């Protein structure tokens, strides 16, 4: 059997350093990373800070991060979640995003709990956004944290540009922003001019996005 394009190390030897991504192939894509990452969610050997007994799988977790998550979806997930719900983009934004944040120019999905959470389960799980896919209440190695952070925020900045181009946001800068809103707005601003945003703008699938430019 050949070596996988992306491997995740989370065995005992890595426990002190955290979960670590190894990219073994220059042609690896974001889909390869997601495929390698997905089993971590259900891995009951991992130490998860907030999980019941510290080892519960994310599935049906009762202290679910989805109860409080601040989700600005990446552009691939944004399009797929709208399609799954059979809505055009203006309808999707109107029904599933927090209206007062839209006025502040932020595409935050309705929270507390997330509008897609039912009975502790995500109802859009196969197409949930990168922020949701990558979040694990586990220790991560520094460079791995940086990689998934960069992918998630580049994707979110692409959603912001896409929404602005289509007039989906009603931006009034004076609208009251919390410190969290300001932090996320600044992050989007930091990433919006990153050339990698175009990779998300042009892609239809995560397999269209190479990992190499993010490393
Ligand atoms: S990552 Fe979220 S869902 Fe998974 S165990 Fe931690 S709090 Fe629960
Ligand atoms: S989209 Fe799904 S995974 Fe993401 S916060 Fe909402 S319920 Fe949780």
Express each pLDDT in 157-167 by its tens digit.
Answer: 999 999 999 99
- Count of other CB atoms within 10 angstroms of residue 82: 20
- Number of domains the chain contains: 1
Å from CA of 11 to ligand 1 middle: 19
Asked if residue 49 belongs to a domain, the reply is no
Asked if residue 200 belongs to a domain, the reply is yes
Packing angle between helix 142-165 and helix 75-84, nearest 10 degrees?
60
Å from CA of 64 to ligand 1 middle: 5
Å from CA of 56 to ligand 1 middle: 8
Segments forming the whole domain that contains residue 83: 61-205
Asked if residue 13 belongs to a domain, the reply is no
pTM, entire model:
0.94
Distance CA 69, CA 114 (A): 7
Distance CA 152, CA 128 (A): 12
Q: Which residue has the higher pLDDT, 10 or 98?
A: 98
Asked if residue 51 belongs to a domain, the reply is no
Ligand 2 touching residue 153 (CB < 6 A):
no
Asked if residue 134 belongs to a domain, the reply is yes
Q: What is the pLDDT of residues 108-145, one digit of tens each?
A: 999 999 999 999 999 999 999 999 999 999 999 999 99
Distance CA 16, CA 14 (A): 6
Asked if residue 12 belongs to a domain, the reply is no
């Amino acid at each position: 059997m050949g070596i996988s394009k992306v491997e995740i190390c989370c065995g005992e030897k890595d426990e002190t350093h955290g979960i670590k991504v190894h990219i073994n192939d220059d042609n690896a894509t974001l889909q390869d990373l997601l495929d390698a990452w997905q089993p971590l969610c259900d891995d009951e050997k991992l130490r998860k800070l907030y999980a019941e007994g510290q080892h519960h799988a994310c599935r049906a977790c009762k202290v679910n991060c989805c109860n409080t998550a601040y989700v600005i979806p990446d552009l691939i997930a944004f399009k797929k979640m709208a399609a799954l719900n059979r809505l055009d983009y203006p309808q999707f934004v109107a029904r599933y995003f927090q209206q007062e944040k839209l006025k502040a120019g932020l595409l935050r999905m309705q929270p507390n709990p997330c509008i897609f959470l039912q009975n502790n389960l995500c109802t859009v799980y196969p197409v949930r956004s990168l922020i949701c896919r990558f979040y694990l209440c586990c220790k991560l190695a520094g460079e791995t944290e940086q990689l998934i952070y960069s992918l998630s925020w580049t994707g979110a900045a692409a959603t912001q540009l896409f929404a602005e181009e289509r007039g989906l946001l009603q931006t009034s800068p004076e609208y009251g922003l919390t410190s969290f809103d300001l932090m996320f707005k600044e992050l989007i601003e930091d990433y919006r001019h990153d050339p990698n945003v175009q990779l998300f703008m042009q892609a239809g699938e995560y397999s269209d996005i190479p990992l190499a430019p993010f490393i």
